[in-house]
Amino acid sequence: MLGGIFEKNNVKDKLRTFEKKIISEDFWKDQFSAQKIIKEKKFFENIFNKFNLVVNDLENIQELLKLASKENDTAVIKDCEIKINSLHKEIKKIEAECFLSGENDNLDTYLEIHAGAGGTESQDWAQMLRRMYSKWAEKKKCKFEIISEHRGEEAGIKSSTLKIKGAFMYGWLKSESGVHRLVRISPFDSGARRHTSFASVWVYPVVDDSIKVDIQEKDIRIDTYRSSGAGGQHVNTTDSAVRITHLPTNIVVQCQNERSQHKNKETCFNMLKARIYEYEIQKKAQASENAAKSKKDIGWGHQIRSYVLQPYRLVKDLRNNLEITDPDGVLDGEIDEFLEAALYQSEKTN
* 210 occurs within a structural domain: no
pLDDT of residue 180: 96
Domain count of the fold of the chain:
3
Query: Which of 224 and 26 is assigned the larger pLDDT?
Result: 224
* 296 occurs within a structural domain: no
Check if the beta carbon of residue 213 is closer than 8 Å to that of residue 112: no
Asked if omega into 311 is within 30° of 0 (cis), the reply is: yes
Q: Please compute the mean of the pLDDT values over residues 55-80 and round it to a whole number.
A: 90
Question: Do 184 and 251 sit in the same domain of this protein?
Answer: no
The model carries a pTM of 0.72
Q: Is the pLDDT of residue 13 over 60?
A: yes
Question: Do 118 and 201 sit in the same domain of this protein?
Answer: yes
Q: Where are the alpha helices (DSSP H) in the chain?
A: 2-9, 11-23, 31-71, 74-98, 120-139, 169-173, 233-237, 261-285, 289-297, 327-331, 336-349
**How buried is 127 (Cβ within 10 angstroms: 0-12 exposed, 13-18 middle, 19+ buried)?**
buried
Question: Do 194 and 320 sit in the same domain of this protein?
Answer: yes
Domain with residue 51: its CATH number is: 1.20.58.410
Question: Do 201 and 113 sit in the same domain of this protein?
Answer: yes
Q: What is the pLDDT of residues 143-194, one digit of tens each?
A: 999 998 999 888 899 999 999 999 889 999 999 999 999 999 988 887 778 8
* 247 occurs within a structural domain: yes
* 292 occurs within a structural domain: no
Q: Is the pLDDT of residue 200 over 70?
A: yes
- The residues with which 225 forms a beta bridge, in sequence order, are 241
Query: Which of 302 and 160 is assigned the larger pLDDT?
Result: 160
Query: Which of 110 and 117 is assigned the larger pLDDT?
Result: 110
Q: What is the pLDDT of residues 262-297, one digit of tens each?
A: 888 889 988 998 888 888 777 766 654 443 344 344
* 167 occurs within a structural domain: yes
pLDDT of residue 24: 72
Question: Considering 69, 98, 127, which residue would you say is the last residue of a domain?
Answer: 98
CB atoms within 10 A of CB 132: 21
Question: Do 267 and 139 sit in the same domain of this protein?
Answer: no
Q: If pLDDT is split at 50, 70 and 90, which confidence band does 229 have?
A: low
Question: Do 67 and 148 sit in the same domain of this protein?
Answer: no
Residue 68 domain boundaries: 2-98
Q: Is the pLDDT of residue 236 over 60?
A: no
Domain with residue 117: its CATH number is: 3.30.70.1660
DSSP 101: -
Q: What percent of the chain has pLDDT over 90?
A: 40
Question: Considering 98, 129, 160, which residue would you say is the last residue of a domain?
Answer: 98
CA atoms of 171 and 105, how far apart (whole Å): 4
Question: Considering 36, 68, 98, which residue would you say is the last residue of a domain?
Answer: 98
pLDDT of residue 11: 66
Question: Do 199 and 315 sit in the same domain of this protein?
Answer: yes
Q: Is the pLDDT of residue 209 over 70?
A: no
pLDDT of residue 230: 47
Q: What percent of the chain has pLDDT over 70?
A: 85
**What's the 3-state SS for 295-325?**
HHHCCCCCEEEEEECCCCCEEEECCCCCEEC
Domain with residue 230: its CATH number is: 3.30.160.20
Nearest to 271 by CA among 229, 213, 225, 200: 213
Q: Which residues contact 186 (CB under 8 A, 6 or more apart)?
A: 121, 192, 193, 194, 195
Q: Please compute the mean of the pLDDT values over residues 111-125 and round it to a whole number.
A: 91
DSSP 219: G
Question: Do 88 and 120 sit in the same domain of this protein?
Answer: no
* 251 occurs within a structural domain: yes
For the chain, the straight-line distance linking the first and the last C-alpha, in angstroms and rounded, comes to 21
CA atoms of 45 and 153, how far apart (whole Å): 48
CB atoms within 10 A of CB 344: 15
Question: Do 221 and 199 sit in the same domain of this protein?
Answer: no
* 70 occurs within a structural domain: yes
Q: Please compute the mean of the pLDDT values over residues 87-106 and round it to a whole number.
A: 82
The overall average pLDDT reported for the chain is 83
pLDDT of residue 238: 62
* 294 occurs within a structural domain: no
